[in-house]
């Protein structure tokens, strides 16, 4: 899915009852996203709409799913959903507006290149967010920079787009055409391809998190191909060059973390590792010098290195 918030020069072209549309911030193939003000209390919001005038049943179910899954999660690392309202032949999803932009688009700008300290703060925050999801027994299934928002001023990040998320217990994945797989092909886990002899669980999000970290640290994806079948094969069987081989500025220990996240076999959940080591990472609200013990906490949290 590709429903992240990105800047656009397009002007508002829709009207949503009880809301004043301010600007279009994402105009995609399937969805439209607008900044708006709720007229009754002047609350800044983001409104997400289906683009097609006559959405299919599956599109409606998927759109409604992101509200159903996220509506009861009130955590700082996850975008808050206020309501799901009828709109024409579909729905309008009303969400908080914290001034976020797509991490993918933000990181592409040269002036926004992440320092190692900034990356670690972001990575720790994302790990804490995934912990929250697992406590709620939720698998996101589409972790990627386009589904992470960052406030350019505060550097606060939030996870968005729960349209294909699901609840545990573990689900199985049938063999399907790679052109219609759930998730985004460049980031999907081996389990999501339907070609592994195991179901989908928390490991799916860890793998995609590893691909996300890889891209943020190197500026490129671990596997690139225009052939969907080739990408599927890469996720199942190939090993990407290590991060520090592409970006020598990255310490090998960070590179090893990414390698373990992207391992084809199972990795430990952060909850399991924390339980075993008696550790808990506390989220940080600002970019600052990160002491060695916090980096060790981060390492323990993800893969249990020590």
Is-contact 301 127, C-beta < 8 A? Answer: yes
The model's pTM is 0.81
- Other CB atoms within 10 Å distance of the CB of residue 265: 8
Q: Average model confidence (pLDDT) for the chain?
A: 81
- CATH superfamily of domain region 19-96: Phosphorylase Kinase; domain 1 (3.30.200.20)
Q: Tell me, what's the pLDDT at 276?
A: 36
Q: Where in the chain is the domain with CATH 3.30.200.20?
A: 19-96
Q: Which CATH architecture has domain 101-303?
A: Orthogonal Bundle (1.10)
The 8-class DSSP code of residue 172 comes to -
Is-contact 284 125, C-beta < 8 A? Answer: yes
Whether residue 88 is predicted with pLDDT greater than 70 in this model: the reply is: yes
CA dist., res. 183 & res. 229, Å (int):
15
Is-contact 223 235, C-beta < 8 A? Answer: yes
Whether residue 217 is predicted with pLDDT greater than 60 in this model: the reply is: yes
**Closest C-alpha among 136, 148, 108 to residue 1:** 148
For 189-216, write each residue's pLDDT tens digit.
888 877 666 677 788 898 999 999 999 9
pLDDT (average), residues 173-190: 65
Match 């589904």 to its residue by tokens: 147
Reported as type and span, the H/E element at residue 122 is: helix 116-135
Whether residue 100 is predicted with pLDDT greater than 60 in this model: the reply is: yes
Whether residue 71 is predicted with pLDDT greater than 70 in this model: the reply is: yes
Report which listed range, 109-113, 193-197, 261-265, is most confident. Answer: 261-265
Report which listed range, 29-43, 117-131, 267-281, is most confident. Answer: 29-43
Report which listed range, 159-163, 192-196, 292-296, is most confident. Answer: 159-163
Q: Tell me, what's the pLDDT at 172?
A: 47
Strand pairing report for 90-96 and 81-87: antiparallel
Q: How confident is the model at residue 12 (pLDDT cuts 50, 70, 90)?
A: low
**Structure tokens belonging to residue 114:** 């992440």
Q: Tell me, what's the pLDDT at 1?
A: 47
Q: Where in the chain is the domain with CATH 1.10.510.10?
A: 101-303
pLDDT (average), residues 73-96: 96
CA dist., res. 290 & res. 279, Å (int):
17
């Amino acid at each position: 899915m590709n429903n992240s918030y990105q800047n656009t020069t397009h002007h508002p072209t829709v009207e949503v009852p009880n809301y004043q549309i301010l600007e279009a911030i994402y105009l995609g193939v399937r969805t439209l996203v607008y900044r708006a003000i709720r007229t009754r209390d002047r609350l800044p919001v983001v409104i997400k709409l289906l683009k097609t005038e006559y959405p299919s049943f599956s599109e409606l179910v998927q759109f409604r799913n992101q509200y159903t899954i996220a509506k009861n999660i009130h955590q700082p690392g996850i975008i808050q959903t206020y309501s799901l309202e009828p709109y024409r032949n579909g729905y309008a999803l009303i969400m908080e507006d914290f001034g976020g932009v797509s991490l993918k688009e933000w990181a592409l700008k040269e002036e926004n290149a992440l320092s190692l300290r900034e990356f670690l703060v972001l990575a720790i925050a994302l790990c804490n967010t995934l912990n929250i999801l697992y406590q709620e027994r939720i698998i996101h299934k589409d972790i990627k920079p386009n589904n992470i928002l960052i406030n350019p001023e505060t550097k606060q990040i939030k996870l968005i787009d729960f349209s294909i998320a699901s609840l545990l217990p573990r689900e199985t994945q049938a063999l399907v055409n790679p052109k219609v797989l759930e998730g985004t092909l460049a980031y999907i886990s081996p389990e999501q391809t339907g070609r592994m002899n195991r179901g989908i669980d928390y490991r799916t999000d860890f793998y995609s998190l590893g691909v996300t970290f890889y891209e943020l640290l190197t500026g490129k994806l671990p596997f690139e191909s225009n052939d969907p079948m080739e990408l599927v094969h890469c996720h199942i069987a190939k090993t990407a060059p290590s991060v520090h081989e592409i970006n020598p500025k990255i310490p090998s220990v960070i590179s090893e973390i990414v390698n373990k996240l992207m391992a084809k076999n199972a990795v430990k959940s952060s909850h399991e590792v924390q339980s075993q080591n008696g550790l808990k990472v506390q989220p940080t609200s600002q970019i600052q010098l990160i002491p060695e013990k916090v980096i060790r906490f981060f390492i323990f949290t993800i893969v249990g290195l020590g």
